[in-house]
Copies of this chain bind each other. A is one copy, B any other.
Amino acid sequence: MEFNEFFVQGMALLGAGIAMVAGFGQGIGEGFAAGKGAEAVGRNPEASGKIQSIMVLGIALAETTGIFALVVAILLIFVKG
């Protein structure tokens, strides 16, 4: 048995799948933000515009590392896979 380019491709594709596991963090964290946003609007419906603004801003920032993982997975699949 010899390691060859097929081994490299296989590891790249396995790595792409593993990278996506990162996405569960965004699911938990951004879902928490959605829940706290709903709670805040329930308590103070008049401030719903401001609440939504800061919630969406925070979620967008939390999303970034999920996008990093997607970029790395796409690189692994199409450049090295």
Closest B residue to A36 using CB positions = B35
Which B residues are in CB contact (< 8 Å) with A5? 6
Query: For chain A, what secondary structure do more than half of its interface residues adopt (helix, strand, loop), or is it mixed?
Result: helix
Chain A 1-43 interface 0/1 with B at a Cβ cutoff of 8 Å (1 = within): 1111111111111111111111111111111111111111111
Q: A3-B1, A4-B2, A58-B55 are in contact. Are A13 and B76 (CB under 8 A)?
A: yes
Q: Chain B: which residue is nearest A54 at the CB level?
A: B37
Assuming the contacts A64-B63, A77-B76, asked whether A30 and B41 have C-beta atoms less than 8 A apart, the reply is no
Name the residue on B nearest A52 (C-beta): B54
Task: State the A residues within 8 Å of B (CB).
Answer: 1-48, 50-77, 79-81
